[in-house]
Amino acid sequence: MINKTCYCWTCDKFFHHLGIARHRAMHRDRKENCTITYDDCETVTHQFSKRKERQK
Ligand SMILES: [Zn+2]
């Protein structure tokens, strides 16, 4: 199945492939993990929230 759009599983939304970078940056700014399927059908999970959490 060829899909020319990108999809953000975190937001459950489709994005134009030119808009997904900006969308990904939004998640990064908000320090949210996001899973995105790109237009080449590659699915990537970005671990933007993977920072030093409480070290106790
Ligand atoms: Zn998203």
> pLDDT (tens digit, 9 = 90+) per residue, 4-56?
689 999 999 999 988 999 999 999 999 999 999 998 889 999 999 976 666 55
> If DSSP states are collapsed to H, E and C, what string results for the chain?
CCCCEEEECCCCEEEECCCHHHHHHHHHHCCCCEEEECCCCCEEEECCCCCCCCCC
pTM attached to this predicted model: 0.78
Q: Are 10 and 26 in contact (CB under 8 A)?
A: no
**Domain residue limits, the chain:** 7-46
* Pairing mode of beta strands 5-8, 34-37: antiparallel
Q: How far is the CA of 32 from the centre of ligand 1 (A)?
A: 9
What pLDDT, on the 0 to 100 scale, is given for residue 56? 58
Amino acid code (one letter) for 41: C
What is the CA(42)–ligand 1 centre distance, in A?
16
